[in-house]
Amino acid sequence: MKVLSIDKLKRRIKLIPETSIDLLNIYRLIEPGDTVYSETTREVKKERAYGEVDSERVKIKIGIEVSKKTADPLMRRISLLGIVKYVDRELDIIKKHHTIHLEPEKPIEIESRDRFPFLLSLAKTAATKITHEILCISIDDEKFAVIHISNAGVKILRTRDLTPPVKTLMQHQEDDSFRRNVEEVIKIVEEELEPRRKIEVVLLGPSVMIERFSKEIKARKPELGRLIKRHISASSGGIEGFLEAMRTGAIGRNLKPLEDAFIVEDAIRHASKNPELAKMGVEEVYRAISSGKRGIVLVTENYLWSSLEDSRIQLILSEAEKGRIELRTILSGTEAAEKVDSLGGIVMINK
């Protein structure tokens, strides 16, 4: 989430949600009575001098006092219904009903008398988030994968089987095979790097393999070699090696999917050692929190979207806002989310 401005006097925050998790955070903080401003387009009719009427679509900034909020799990979209109280053009729409749709990359302003401290806390948390991206080249002598990692999630860009080494080949033949593999990988990586200018490139795989691969890249493409910031040792390359490194935290924890993977693995270890401390499924988690238990709650993005109207989920979210529990939303489409989904979509580890 990008924070564009904070006006403490007007108790107003302008921001840009970047992911569906950002939308979920905004959804649970906005309440009826708050004012939300957004840009939209509207058809405006004009009467010409000769009497004909035509129309044009113009961009306007509109502000509504929220009366109702809804979440669409299928579209991953938040809708705010309310009464228009501000418009930056002379249009006869004040006090009329209007709906603002919140979507990723669409700027909004939120003004709240009662909820401003929570919005301010959300903005401060967003401001501390690291926004860089990682391009991970996970490789061994048989396969490789190119994976893009950002706070929005993990995306597997390419996977490919390489020409495996044959023990009976002469050394020069084996070297030729390796160079062909390097050429193929370089070509693919350059294609993926083209639209991404500021990015950290890491090599991951068996240490001997990635050292040799790095040396070859730097000799052939010095400009690409300079982008490689880290070498990460793993027992294998490809997707398997990448997932192994995520689970152990070897890639790091400075981006959300990396931190999610580490936190979920840590929670599973705690649950295995102390099963009595683990609560699985919304009913168990709800009962534990209702009885005063404290701890960390892990819930997947998909589960939260589909359960926002559940009164038990609303209580859990309320307790998280009050700081009584730690709530972590796990990005869907990741191995970490699959593990939490297999346990009911939401789990809690008591302190």
Percent above pLDDT 90 for the chain: 52
What are the tens digits of pLDDT across the range 260-295? Answer: 999 999 999 998 999 999 999 999 999 999 999 999
Answer left, alpha or beta for residue 67, where phi above 0 means left and psi between -120 and 50 means alpha.
alpha
Average pLDDT value for residue range 193-198: 66
For residue 73, pLDDT over 80 is answered with yes
Domain 134-248 belongs to what topology? Answer: Nucleotidyltransferase; domain 5 (3.30.420)
User: What letters, b where the CB count within 10 A reaches 16 and e where it falls short, cover 271-297?
Assistant: beeeeebbbbebeebbebbeeebebbb
Q: What is the pLDDT of residue 145?
A: 93
Average pLDDT value for residue range 21-39: 92
Q: What is the pLDDT of residue 50?
A: 65
CB atoms within 10 A of CB 23: 21
For residue 305, pLDDT over 80 is answered with yes
Helix 311-321 to helix 282-290 angle, to the nearest 10 degrees? Answer: 50
Q: Do domains 2-127 and 272-350 have the same CATH topology?
A: no
What are the tens digits of pLDDT across the range 97-106? Answer: 999 999 888 9
Domain at 272-350: CATH architecture? 2-Layer Sandwich (3.30)
Position of tokens 């639209």? 195
Give the Cα separation of 195 and 64 in Å (integer).
38
Give the Cα separation of 325 and 350 in Å (integer).
9
Average pLDDT value for residue range 207-231: 89
Domain boundaries, the chain: 2-127, 134-248, 272-350
Helix, strand, coil in percent for the chain, rounding step 5 = 35, 35, 30
pTM: 0.78
Q: What is the pLDDT of residue 343?
A: 93
Percent above pLDDT 70 for the chain: 91
Domain at 2-127: CATH architecture? Roll (2.30)
Give the Cα separation of 326 and 43 in Å (integer).
46
201: closest CA among 224, 178, 220, 222?
Answer: 224
Give the Cα separation of 59 and 38 in Å (integer).
10
Of the listed ranges 32-36, 214-218, 344-348, the least confidently predicted one is: 214-218
Taking the CA of residue 258 as centre, how many other CA atoms within 13 Å lie in the half-sphere pointing to its CB?
20
Q: What is the pLDDT of residue 197?
A: 58
